[in-house]
Amino acid sequence: MKQLQKITVLWICLIVQAVRIQGCRNGWIQFENSCYFLSKDAETWAEASIICVDLHSRLATVESAAENNFLKAEAHRLNAVGYWLDGTDFEVENVWRWAASGNTITYTNWGGHDPNEATHANCLALWRDFGYQWADEACRHVWNFICETSATVDGQEVIG
Ligand SMILES: [Ca+2]
Ligand SMILES: [Ca+2]
């Protein structure tokens, strides 16, 4: 039994250590196991997507209310008109997917009567006019954007 307790304590120490060294690059902010970059520049959705890849990340995906609330608060703090996320319905109208993974979007936080702009609005953003709830918008709008990547330990992905 004592041996088991020792092992348990050792495990807790290792986990604490792993959490401590896990982190984000300068200019990126951490929430749970992800690092986020909120741009100061504005770009079209497609350009924003390319920039995130160049930064070894992707446009942000939102999988939970907690993650959404975190990003919404950051958007409020920085206060740009809109922030692109990775969501799009360009393949099938009104079937919203995360572009990088192809996964169907499950958690949503649409504002107003969105999504309502049909085939000329195929990209997902946090929009200031909606208090940074979600809006479907024309992908050619030049807006700010949010990139997301895993928090890392010496460049390696954190498991769990
Ligand atoms: Ca995410
Ligand atoms: Ca659409």
pLDDT in tens, 14-26: 555 444 446 899 9
The region, left, alpha or beta by phi > 0 then psi within -120 to 50, assigned to residue 131 is left
Give, for 135, the enclosing helix (H) or strand (E). Answer: strand 133-137
Round to whole Å and give the CA distance between 68 and 54. Answer: 24
Neighbours of ion ligand 2 (CB under 5 A): 89, 122
Quickly state the pLDDT bin for 152 (edges 50, 70, 90). Answer: confident
Question: How many degrees, rounded to 5, is the angle at CA 105 between CA 37 and CA 144?
Answer: 30
Ligand 1 centroid to residue 9 C-alpha, Å: 31
Ligand 2 centroid to residue 89 C-alpha, Å: 5
Ligand 1 centroid to residue 34 C-alpha, Å: 7
Among 110, 106, 116, smallest CA distance to 132 is for 110
Question: 113-148 as b/e, with b when 16 or more CB fall inside 10 Å?
Answer: ebbeeeeebbbbbbbbebebbbbbbebebebbbbbb
Percent of the chain at pLDDT exceeding 90: 77
List domains and CATH numbers for the chain: 36-154 (3.10.100.10)
Round to whole Å and give the CA distance between 20 and 140. Answer: 40
Round to whole Å and give the CA distance between 139 and 130. Answer: 18
Ligand 1 centroid to residue 112 C-alpha, Å: 23
pTM of the predicted model as reported, rounded to 2 decimal places: 0.82
Q: Does 156 score more than 60 pLDDT?
A: no
Ligand 2 centroid to residue 40 C-alpha, Å: 26
Quickly state the pLDDT bin for 153 (edges 50, 70, 90). Answer: low
Q: Does 126 score more than 60 pLDDT?
A: yes
Closest ligand to 146 CA?
Answer: 1
What are the tens digits of pLDDT across the range 48-107? 999 999 999 999 999 999 999 999 999 999 999 999 999 999 999 999 999 999 999 999
Ligand 2 centroid to residue 118 C-alpha, Å: 4
